[in-house]
Structure 1
């Protein structure tokens, strides 16, 4: 098995490569440095995994995302390919053992974060390995103009001194400026550059103006009942929209960073196996997901940048069938949205405040904390210090990207309880409440002292042994407490924080403030570009995206919201009907839509024409009014 196609067929069970994959693999195998810009769904990982399998030695993969590294390692293991990840938070001894396995255990892939390579002893161990290829995933992180800049990426170029092997840099989203930065800062030698087009011929981008998002979702899913993704900005919306859709008769589940691993896997499985057709998710969802038959991706809020929007929208239609990326938004006040966005960006003073509060909360003395792991409930922490949850999380993400902290989302319920009633009363309760019985009986079997004293219990273990979810265990415990059967103390943590350096207050923060200010400026520019994309009613949406990423000769797609309206000959009766309606009172687009019998697209198109011709205007209440 010495040909790339043989490896593809054997391990991935595919009969042919996707566009440019084989050319990239051949280039890497010839020993040349390579830059690969493969928009979402292009199959980036195969481009370094197949060459690594064909070459003697081990492939060093550098990635900033713990979840993505774990996902790729699990996928490789499922194919009986030996792979290891040096995830954060593991001990010196365990790391050492894993590196021994890399040296002597016939492993083909070692996944590390760029921050790991800054640990001298780890780097010394890796330098002794027979590395056959260095792959830099999410390579846009090396550029300050990339949407996830990480300074640790700037140190990767030093590996060129130790490994005389090909380097391959991969990304799904990079503007021309970011592309130049990647090649320069990684010191790629005469790199062969591969770039797939950002155009997706089968994917229609639609901006739908609506005040009634739930009503519009009902229309969408009745018309397109195939598998769908809804992206929202916070965990609460995930749960609420999923529950509401289920109440309306659609099958839905949800996914966010605060779920336990088991809950994520269960919910993901429900959706992948189409036991539920809709998954409502935050941007934590999508890592390594390649479900080909997703028909519709819906965004219920405007994303922060085109890079994220393109990747998330691009999870629709990977089977080549016609699909839709729908962004639902009311009429927007651009300046108001910009000001709100800027107000949620953390500045120097707020970053200082969060870092100081964090140290006080964990009771870390000056000069202490190095390599200590802590757990945090973000909402409780923010309530304690009366600070914004959104801005605080942004600070923690920033400190993570600077390598000062390592941040992980999790759900960890620490519980302690003592029964306040006699054992025979507990047994009587279980006989009358059979649904609660497995959880209670599991507690009694595993924690014999719960009647005599307060006992710390492991809710995840109880869930596993009783064959239910941790969420259900917590619900039952709260129910028992409400009935005064137990004394319960429950603390839920949704974040773990590993300190990568000792507490040094002003010195720690002051040395990264300039990076924060630059990043804030770039984020504002990116958000402005996203608002321009949403607001522009004069160009094809696919063309706008392609131009943002540097493709100047992109052709209109024919299926986006702009092209669809342009290709329709709008009957004068729509405009006339709207004008007659507005003679009596000002109305929102939803009120107009509910009154007239025309389609949403026809009404939106007519409203845009009337606005452009100054026949109507949008008043301060976001209602249309005749001039």
Structure 2
């Protein structure tokens, strides 16, 4: 048994590698720069973890995803492998201690974000570490054509000057051919060994159905397939609503979204992992690090933003290699809704510059000043002040963060959370006795229908606006309800901390990054067009369409997607109709209208059968336009 296989067995308890894990490991051990394209669930992390364990020194892992870094470090530590992650929120003195541990404590893995490499003192410390491998996870972020481009990734190639003999390993699950070439160029990979696992998942039936009553179809699907399932929805409210509807229909369901407290996320996750519930209803916040082999069904109730995300989420089904289903349920209104959520909220250069200038005005930063200044920032208050649309502004600020112009210490979140702890009929009774509070309470109940069931994040400015009251008046009502034990009410100061990384230069600052913004906007539009092509194309196998998007050519149909099943049904119907037509023509010649009048089958099936019979010369058409047996 090879040393790599021994380590796989010792730490992961697997007896063999999946293709092409072993080939990637060997390429890295031979000192080659390497590019690895492995779809979701392909086991990318093993490709850098095993060669790192086989050599002296430490593996530097660069990843943009804090949740994934924490998850991988926790999994390594559980196996008694020493690993550290330099995530956000760690103070400088703690960072120094952690880097000391890396240098002198025999650690094997150091995880950090690409933005950390922009700190000169951290880079200086890393230069003194015995690095044996540099792994770049989610490497599509290095490409301006990747679906989550981050400019900080462009500086990773600078590590080549400090570690000229250390191999680079770029890993991604979703790269089109254009993105792959850009990754290799931007990272400066030298004559890289390239390994690309096919995107084909032969056991997954990709299904697209246009229907009005999605809940009824979900009920049919879950009744037929009782194994673990995931339903992806657009927002937090849908999570709660659909889970409640499914429970009322007799299914066991729970939910997961980014606004849940950590303990509630963990509890709901465990219920699903232990199969105490069948269904997890979730936003796209669910899935990172999830490895449940027997997921039978993944259902999307709305259109995805792009096929990269859809493929990753759908790919959480069927990892045990048994037949599984990835279903996308659409309705005529979905296209407009998705455009409103993802396309029409993209900021252009003019809006981005306006947001940046107003932000500087908001914090009283003069032109030529502001570098390293830190502020507490509330997105909703900022948008109210300048009458900016919230989602479009959020996208603009996120873009400024990804470009390194500003840094956000945490995700935007609400300051308040509440939950009603008395029955709804008692709340109605209270409002009838306290009419001055009624408008505010009704606004809360209409906005947050799940507020009886769970602790719910609360948007103060939104409720104030909906109830036509001031924020102070809303807060006073909340305090009163808390005193009377009507609600459980928590208020905490968790505004985002915003740091300016550059001096204010307005047009010069924005012009420098405008090309990236234009590229990203164009990419998002192209990606959405690809989603529309996938759902609307009823002439091609769905598996073929997905493979084609990722640059693969497949000539044969999968045989199990919605298109292939429909074709098979058509063919079976055609055979049945053909037999009926042949029986009719045994007695007399008939026109197509006369044949349709004799049969109860749909006209399309009759026409299709007639064409098949003509092509195979079982029948012929006479000069009087009547069909006759070809004797």
TM over 0.5: yes
Deviations 1:95-125 (A, max 9, x none): 1111111101111111111111111111010
Q: Is the 8 A contact 1:574 1:606 kept in 2?
A: no
Deviations 1:205-261 (A, max 9, x none): 100111111111111111112111111222222222222222222222222222222
Deviates more, 1:109-118 or 1:227-236: 227-236
Aligned counterpart, 1:210: 211
| 1:330 matches 2:331 | yes
Aligned counterpart, 1:391: 392
1:340 and 1:117 map into 2 onto residues whose CA distance is 33
Aligned counterpart, 1:126: 126
Deviations 1:475-530 (A, max 9, x none): xx998832744899854677734425156261443322221112101111111111
Q: CA deviation at 1:322?
A: 0.5
Deviates more, 1:234-243 or 1:384-393: 384-393
Q: CA deviation at 1:169?
A: 0.4
Aligned residues: 533
Aligned counterpart, 1:256: 257
Q: Is the 8 A contact 1:373 1:499 kept in 2?
A: yes
2:344 and 2:527 map into 1 onto residues whose CA distance is 15
| 1:245 matches 2:246 | yes
CA separation of 1:206/1:128 partners in 2, compared to 1, >3 Å: closer, same or farther? same
Q: Is the 8 A contact 1:258 1:409 kept in 2?
A: no
1:61 and 1:532 map into 2 onto residues whose CA distance is 36
Matches within 5 A, 1:115-194: 115-163=115-163, 164-194=165-195
Q: Is the 8 A contact 1:546 1:554 kept in 2?
A: no
| Structure of larger gyration radius | 2
Q: CA deviation at 1:348?
A: 2.0
Q: Is the 8 A contact 1:547 1:554 kept in 2?
A: no
CA separation of 1:483/1:27 partners in 2, compared to 1, >3 Å: closer, same or farther? closer
TM-score (ref. length: structure 1): 0.77
Deviations 1:270-317 (A, max 9, x none): 211112221122222111111111111111111111111111111110
1:608 and 1:228 map into 2 onto residues whose CA distance is 40
Please state whether the residue corresponding to 1:552 is helix, strand or coil.
Answer: coil
Deviates more, 1:403-412 or 1:311-320: 403-412
Aligned counterpart, 1:482: 481
2:350 and 2:458 map into 1 onto residues whose CA distance is 41
CA separation of 1:165/1:269 partners in 2, compared to 1, >3 Å: closer, same or farther? same
Aligned counterpart, 1:444: none
1:283 and 1:329 map into 2 onto residues whose CA distance is 17
2:607 and 2:363 map into 1 onto residues whose CA distance is 55
Deviates more, 1:359-368 or 1:114-123: 359-368
Deviations 1:399-444 (A, max 9, x none): 232123444337675699xxxxxxxxxxxxx9x99xxxxxxxxxxx
Please state whether the residue corresponding to 1:327 is helix, strand or coil.
Answer: strand
Q: CA deviation at 1:326?
A: 0.5
Matches within 5 A, 1:160-559: 160-163=160-163, 164-331=165-332, 341-356=342-357, 358=359, 367-368=369-370, 370=372, 372=374, 374=376, 376=378, 378=379, 382-383=383-384, 385-407=386-408, 408-409=410-411, 413=415, 481-482=480-481, 484-485=483-484, 491=491, 496-499=496-499, 501-502=501-502, 504=504, 506=506, 507-553=508-554, 555-559=556-560
CA separation of 1:495/1:559 partners in 2, compared to 1, >3 Å: closer, same or farther? farther
2:608 and 2:104 map into 1 onto residues whose CA distance is 70
Deviates more, 1:391-400 or 1:185-194: 391-400
CA separation of 1:22/1:213 partners in 2, compared to 1, >3 Å: closer, same or farther? same
CA separation of 1:554/1:32 partners in 2, compared to 1, >3 Å: closer, same or farther? farther
Q: CA deviation at 1:184?
A: 1.6
Q: Over aligned residue pairs, what C-alpha RMSD do you find?
A: 3.6
1:608 and 1:105 map into 2 onto residues whose CA distance is 76
CA separation of 1:230/1:337 partners in 2, compared to 1, >3 Å: closer, same or farther? closer
2:607 and 2:246 map into 1 onto residues whose CA distance is 31
| 1:86 matches 2:79 | no
TM-score (ref. length: structure 2): 0.77
Q: What 5-or-longer segments of structure 1 have no aligned partner?
A: 417-429, 434-467, 576-597, 611-627
CA separation of 1:410/1:318 partners in 2, compared to 1, >3 Å: closer, same or farther? farther
1:608 and 1:518 map into 2 onto residues whose CA distance is 48
CA separation of 1:608/1:293 partners in 2, compared to 1, >3 Å: closer, same or farther? farther
Q: CA deviation at 1:368?
A: 3.5
Deviations 1:530-578 (A, max 9, x none): 1101110011111111111111235311110001111113637999xxx
Q: CA deviation at 1:21?
A: 0.7
1:491 and 1:10 map into 2 onto residues whose CA distance is 48
